[in-house]
Amino acid sequence: MNEAETAAVTARPVSEMSFEEALEELERIVQELERGQLDLERAIAAYERGTALRRHCEAKLREARLRVERLTFDAEGRPTGAEPFEPEG
């Protein structure tokens, strides 16, 4: 990805990203930081963006876990349906 494409991707609000999109960008940021080739300002900005992406991914995983936990089962442990899921917040 060239610099213009990278800037366009990072300009996208984290809240609009799917789990997979956020995780992909987070992995890219981690790789950039590990290479140590960013100047201080860009490294700080990348770290801040990475933190927001990590929190977003954690929230998406928490929502998915709640959805799975809300599945209902009968006495023998067979799935009988699911309760409506209302995300927190």
Q: Where are the domains of the chain?
A: 3-75
* Average pLDDT of the segment spanning 11-18: 92
Predicted confidence band at 19 (pLDDT cuts at 50, 70, 90)?
very high
Q: Using CA atoms, how far apart are residues 76 and 88, in angstroms rounded to an integer?
A: 30
* pTM over the 0.85 mark: no
Res 2 pLDDT > 70: no
Task: Count the helices and strands in the chain (H runs, E runs).
Answer: 3, 2
Tokens of 8: 């366009």
Q: Which long-range contacts (CB under 8 A, 24 or more apart) does 19-23 make?
A: 19/56, 19/57, 19/60, 19/61, 19/64, 22/53, 22/56, 22/57, 22/60, 23/53, 23/57
Write the pLDDT tens digit of every residue in 41-74: 999 999 999 999 999 999 999 998 887 777 777 7
CATH node for 3-75: 1.10.287
